[in-house]
Amino acid sequence: MASGTSRGAVAALLNASGLGAGYLYLRLWGRAVAAWAVTAVLVLSAIWIHASGTPWFWLTVFALWLATMVRGGWKHGAAAPPMTRPPWLPLTAAVALLALVTAGVVQYRGGPGQETERGDAAHAAGDCARAVEHYDAATAGRNELTFSPALERAADGRAGCRILLTAEAAARQEDFTGAINGYGDYVARYDGSPPWPGAPDRLAELHLGQADSLADGGTIEAAFAAYAAIPAGFPDSKPAAAVPERLDALYARLTRALADEDHCAAVGELRPFLTLGTEHRGDPLAEGLAERAEAAFPDALYACGITSYRDEDHTSARTALEEFRSLYPDDGRTERAGETLIAIEIADIGGGATGDLPDPTPAGSAPGGTVTVEIVNDSPEALEILYTGAETGTKTVDACGGCTTRSDLLSGWSDTACQAGVDRPTTTIRLPAGTYEFVVRTPDDSSVTPFYGSWELSSGTAYSDCYYIETSLY
């Protein structure tokens, strides 16, 4: 016969399983149903509000509920009348049930850890799609009551993998900015040592892909900055080793006009490379590109000016040659550049509104094969003489201090102008014989019309003319 004490112990032990089995043993059907209902509410509530996030609170709640059921089983079992059946049978059943429940709890609690380990292995291999499946299984609602730390680890791994999956989706669409930001967030999330060790190399590959994209369709500065960031951020990576070759290809592709001897286009192509050395001072990659451009730029600039002059594109020629003289004053071609600028000026004046410069007046002889041209200034303005032919150059005649403005510029002799016996400023030009274009103008007074003439200067002849300014009354 089982005493009340024995029945209380058996009922308490059966209720310790958490299944309300002690109440069934005591045939307290209402209490058994109530225990099931409370247990179900607690379990569902714990799952719904993610009990794994506050494990100690829920462990305390369930421990108190289990203690309540154990106490209830003991209390009602001890108060019930003795039973005729031997106590060892229900006691054995209670121990077996408790062992079974304990084994189930151990197995149940180990499930998230196993799934998390599988997810971590796939994550470390870079297979985040499969890793997320295991992480999702580990963090499923049914596992909330395991209170296993593996759930938190699985949630963290899943969050990291989702960053990677989003970044890879962006990479497949060639959204390099989104992919790089995603991988950067992933690597930073783990302080530079992410679960997938291939992430930094993949990030370097994405930087290289972005740089290649910019090289194909962006500015030189943007492409260079993208390339330069790779060895700076990933010095030992394969993409970093590929950067010098990529920069060589960039230079070759963006200076095709230089190879094709399209000089003016080459000048435009080279300019962005020239600025790299200044904007990225101290960077050997930038300085290397800038040095290549600096070596090619003078030839391209000079050739652009000369070619444009020959093609009668005087605006482009003047711009290029003036820049050449400014940048390279010690270059052996600077003198010719200056002469070409004079020829351009003469051609532009001759093609515009000018006065007609009459043929010079022979005034004597000069050494064989040469000519001399004397210019006398009978005006209050300095005169500039420009000439081009077998030789090109300029001369300036000072203003005549005692002279006054009389009539149209360069109109020749008159009763009052250029009288003999008066000391006036002069200059003499010595030239090889030949055909020349001459311009005479007042550099300090743009209101005076310049005069232009094409002269055939005969060998051994000395020429002399006096010029004055005469205002027009018409």
Structural domain boundaries, residue 338: 255-352
Pair 368, 456 in one domain: yes
Predicted model pTM = 0.68
What's the CATH number where 296 sits?
Answer: 1.25.40
Other beta carbons within 10 angstroms of residue 322's beta carbon come to 15
Residue-by-residue DSSP string for 75-132:
HHHHHSPPBSS-THHHHHHHHHHHHHHHHHHHHHHHHHHHHHHHHHHHHHTT-HHHHH
Pair 315, 375 in one domain: no
440 and 451 Cβ atoms separated by less than 8 Å:
yes
112 and 154 Cβ atoms separated by less than 8 Å:
yes
Closest CA to 19 of 6, 2, 8, 31: 31
Q: How far is CA 46 from CA 42, 143, 144, 413, in A?
A: 6, 10, 7, 118
pLDDT at 98: 62
Closest CA to 409 of 346, 451, 373, 438: 451
Please indicate, yes or no, if residue 336 is contained in any of the structural domains.
yes
Of the residues 66, 86, 106, which one is the last residue of a structural domain? 86
Of the residues 310, 326, 352, which one is the last residue of a structural domain? 352
451 and 441 Cβ atoms separated by less than 8 Å:
yes
Please indicate, yes or no, if residue 56 is contained in any of the structural domains.
yes
Pair 362, 462 in one domain: yes
Please indicate, yes or no, if residue 389 is contained in any of the structural domains.
yes
Q: How many domains does the chain have?
A: 3
Please indicate, yes or no, if residue 461 is contained in any of the structural domains.
yes
Residue-wise burial string across 39-74, b where 16 or more C-beta atoms lie within 10 A, e elsewhere: beebbeebbeeebbeebeebeeebeeeeeebbebbb
Cross-strand pairs, 432: 370
What's the CATH number where 421 sits?
Answer: 2.60.40.1120
pLDDT at 412: 47
Please indicate, yes or no, if residue 44 is contained in any of the structural domains.
yes
269 and 297 Cβ atoms separated by less than 8 Å:
no
Q: What are phi and psi of 432, to 5 degrees?
A: -70, 150
Pair 330, 372 in one domain: no
pLDDT at 35: 72
Closest CA to 289 of 304, 303, 277, 271: 277
Task: Give the separation between CA 87 and CA 335, rounded to whole angstroms.
Answer: 124
Please indicate, yes or no, if residue 294 is contained in any of the structural domains.
yes
Task: Give the separation between CA 435 and CA 149, rounded to whole angstroms.
Answer: 100
pLDDT at 142: 60
Instruction: For the chain, state the CA radius of gyration.
Output: 50
Of the residues 51, 86, 121, which one is the last residue of a structural domain? 86
Q: How many CA atoms lie within 13 A of 72 on its CB side?
A: 24
Q: Which three-class secondary structure string do you get for 294-345?
A: HHHHHHHHHHHHHHHHHCCCHHHHHHHHHHHHHHCCCCCCHHHHHHHHHHHH
Pair 405, 460 in one domain: yes
Q: How many CA atoms lie within 13 A of 377 on its CB side?
A: 22
Sign, Cα dihedral of 279, 285, 291, 294: negative
Pair 388, 455 in one domain: yes
129 and 113 Cβ atoms separated by less than 8 Å:
no
pLDDT at 1: 42
Pair 380, 404 in one domain: yes
Task: Give the separation between CA 6 and CA 285, rounded to whole angstroms.
Answer: 89
Q: Using CA atoms in the order 245, 246, 249, 251, what is the torsion angle rounded to 10 degrees?
A: -110
Paired sense of beta strands 383-388 and 393-397, if any: antiparallel
pLDDT at 369: 87
Pair 386, 347 in one domain: no
Tokens matching residue 100: 């079974």
Pair 346, 385 in one domain: no
Please indicate, yes or no, if residue 384 is contained in any of the structural domains.
yes
Tokens matching residue 26: 């005591």
Residue-by-residue DSSP string for 206-272:
HHHHHHHHHHHHS-HHHHHHHHHHHHHH-TTSHHHHHHHHHHHHHHHHHTHHHHTT-HHHHHHHHHH
Pair 270, 328 in one domain: yes
Pair 47, 19 in one domain: yes
Please indicate, yes or no, if residue 224 is contained in any of the structural domains.
no
- Per residue of the chain (474 residues), give pLDDT as tens: 445 566 666 666 666 666 666 666 667 777 767 777 776 666 666 666 665 566 666 567 666 767 777 676 667 666 666 655 566 566 566 566 565 666 555 555 545 777 878 888 999 999 999 998 888 787 765 655 555 666 778 888 889 999 999 999 999 999 999 999 999 999 999 998 899 999 999 999 999 999 999 998 878 999 999 999 999 999 989 999 999 999 999 999 999 999 999 999 999 999 999 999 888 888 999 999 999 999 999 999 999 999 999 999 999 999 999 999 999 999 999 999 999 999 999 999 988 878 899 999 999 999 888 999 999 999 999 999 999 999 999 999 999 988 888 755 445 444 566 877 678 999 999 999 999 999 999 998 888 889 999 999 999 999 999 998 887 655
Task: Give the separation between CA 157 and CA 204, rounded to whole angstroms.
Answer: 22
Pair 322, 393 in one domain: no
